[in-house]
Amino acid sequence: MEYNITISENIYDDDYQMIVSFLNNYYSSIYSMNQIDLRKPCGIYARNSENEIIGGLVGYSLYGWLYLDALFIDDSFRKKGLGTELLELATNIAIKRKCRGLKLECFNETIDFYIKNNYTIFYTEEEPSKNKLYYLKKII
């Protein structure tokens, strides 16, 4: 049986969706899984008046949690409430998907922002750069 392997840095392409679908179908056939247990991506994007992305949040729900992979705000829009608004919208998505809460990872630079938004630290890791990696969650 022959095959070839390709590598993609665009993980949200059609092939990615196919792998997720295979995985969801596999686990659904073994376990009694609800829809909230299956991987489902989400993206929230903020755009300026020229329709350029100036911030956003991407993640996915899986096993009853909404995992936030990335949240970024352009420098000119920081400290104006946009990040908090994106987190609130993510919380609304988690509620609609019947998740228990949200989880994310961050470094020292953003820890205060997430704590201010009711996230709690459940684990920390020392990084070689002397920075800390924080694992946070918010129960809803």
The backbone region for 70, taken as left when phi is positive above 0, alpha when psi lies in -120 to 50, beta otherwise, is: beta
Q: How many CA atoms lie within 13 A of 62 on its CB side?
A: 14
Q: How many domains does the chain have?
A: 1
- Which domain CATH number covers 108? 3.40.630.30
Q: Which domain holds residue 85?
A: 35-139
29: in domain:
no
Tens digits of pLDDT across the chain (140 residues): 887 876 777 766 677 778 877 877 887 777 766 655 678 889 999 999 999 999 999 999 988 899 999 999 999 999 999 999 999 999 999 999 999 999 999 999 999 999 999 999 999 998 787 789 999 999 99
